Structure 1
Amino acid sequence: MEGLKVSDADLAVYVQPSKNTKVPQAVLRELSSLLFKFNEAFGGVVLAYDVQIQDKVAKILPGLHPYFSVRLKAKLLLFAPKPKMLLEGKVVRLTETSIHVIVLGFSSAVITDEDIREELKYKMKHSKELYASRSHKHHVIKVGTMIRFLVKSFDEEILHISGSLVPPNTGSICWLAKNMEDVSLRDRFYAGLFI
């Protein structure tokens, strides 16, 4: 899946003097406050971190409320979706006009009817809502289906994605995997005929 990247960062964490006996815990608490929020400095949503404290000696910063400055190096896992990237998520709700998806368990995405290709039609089958393909009977999208979709936009403030199922390489991941295998096998067969 696109939109995930690992970034190296040199950081300075400011710790209250009252935490001077528990600096590692205070540093981890500060870093944990960055999780699942968009951070402009890093250019994405921080999902995880791996940290190494650089100096064993912390610097005391002067002021009314002096803090310790602790330098560290961190590897950050960032979620930074951009338009035209392909993302994957789990369908959590379907309506006649939209498909609602959760990406990585925390970011919501919506695909509206103008961004769902013509071939996929909304249906009610056995009192369950689904989108089914007119041209491929096994291509079905229902609640619980993992889908691949194209990013149209990403609202960094509320971590909301607007997506599209118009491109042919989008839809149910299971169907795409089987369909791509069939296509590649067919291509290999035809290539073998001409060698």
Structure 2
Amino acid sequence: MEGLTKSDANLTVYVHPSQSKNVDKAILRELSSLLFKYSQAFDGVVLAYSVDPQDNCAKILSGVHPYFGVRLRANLLIFSPKPNMLLEGKIVKITRGSIHCIVLGFSSAIITDENIRNELKYKAKHGEGVYVSRYHKRHVIKVGAVIRFVVKSLDEEILHISGSLIPANTGSVHWLDKYFVDAATESNKEAKTEEEMEMQEQIIVGTETLPSVNDHKVKKSKKRRRAEDQ
């Protein structure tokens, strides 16, 4: 899945003097406050981290409450979805006009009907809504399945993603991983066959028109011969 990156960052964590007896715990608490929130500094959502203190000496900051800063190096896992990226999410709800899913267990995503390609049709089966491909009956999108979709936009405040199932390489991950290559190959073969048939028709039409022109020339030459004989 796209949108996941690892980042090495040099950070300075500011710790309150009351936490000076257990600095390591204070640092972890501060870094944990960054988790699953959009950070402009990292241009994404911090999902995980590991730290490596770079300096045992803390820098005292002047002020009413003299915080002290601890420098450290952090390895961060960042989730930063951008438009046109491919993401995967688990479907939690399907209606006639939308598909709702959860990405990485915390970010919600929605694909509305105008962003679902015509190939996928809504049907009600056993009281539950599903989307089924008109061309590939095994391609079924239902609650509990994992889908692959394209990012259209991201609401950074509530971490809500708007997605699309318009491209052919989107849909049920199970079907795409198992059958998409074969289906794409068949589609290419069909397109190639249709193209060859069109070329053959053009050739046939071309060969049919030639004799008619030749016949006309032959008839014309016969008339000239008769006129000369007379």
Q: Which TM-score band (shorter chain)? A: over 0.9
Deviation at 1:128, TM superposition (A): 1.6
Tell me, in whole angstroms, the C-alpha distance in 1 between the residues paired with 2:138 and 2:124: 16
Structure 2 counterpart of 1:48, which letter?
A: A
Deviation at 1:182, TM superposition (A): 2.9
Aligned position for 2:14: 14
Alignment of 1:45-194 (within 5 A): 45-182=45-182
Deviation at 1:30, TM superposition (A): 0.3
Aligned position for 2:38: 38
1:66-92 C-alpha deviation (Å, 9 max, x unpaired) = 011100000110000000000000000
Instruction: Kindly name which structure, 1 or 2, has the bigger radius of gyration based on alpha carbons.
Output: 2
Structure 2 counterpart of 1:166, which letter?
A: I
Structure 1 counterpart of 2:180, which letter?
A: M
Structure 1 counterpart of 2:103, which letter?
A: V
Q: Mark the runs of 5 or more structure 2 residues left unpaired by the alignment.
A: 187-230
Q: Tell me which protein shows more helix as a share of its residues.
A: 2
CA contact (8 A) 2:83 2:153 kept: yes
Aligned position for 1:192: none
Structure 1 counterpart of 2:43, which letter?
A: G
Structure 2 counterpart of 1:38, which letter?
A: Y
Between the two proteins, the alignment pairs up a number of residues equal to: 186
SS in 1 for 2:41: coil
Percent of aligned pairs with the same amino acid: 67
Select between 175-184 and 60-69 the one with higher mean Cα deviation. 175-184
SS in 1 for 2:21: coil
Shift of the 94–152 alpha-carbon distance from structure 1 to 2, 3 Å rule, reads: same
1:77-114 C-alpha deviation (Å, 9 max, x unpaired) = 00000000000000000000000010000000000000
Deviation at 1:127, TM superposition (A): 1.4
Structure 2 counterpart of 1:101, which letter?
A: C
Tell me, in whole angstroms, the C-alpha distance in 2 between the residues paired with 1:185 and 1:150: 22
Structure 1 counterpart of 2:141, which letter?
A: I
Larger relative contact order, structure 1 or 2 (CA cutoff 8 Å, min sep 6): 1
Structure 1 counterpart of 2:172, which letter?
A: S
Structure 2 counterpart of 1:104, which letter?
A: L
CA contact (8 A) 2:109 2:161 kept: yes
Tell me, in whole angstroms, the C-alpha distance in 2 between the residues paired with 1:135 and 1:184: 12
Using the size of structure 2 for normalisation, the TM-score is 0.79
Aligned position for 1:191: none
Using the size of structure 1 for normalisation, the TM-score is 0.92
Tell me, in whole angstroms, the C-alpha distance in 2 between the residues paired with 1:119 and 1:138: 13
Structure 1 counterpart of 2:134, which letter?
A: R
Select between 127-136 and 165-174 the one with higher mean Cα deviation. 127-136
Tell me, in whole angstroms, the C-alpha distance in 1 between the residues paired with 2:76 and 2:141: 33
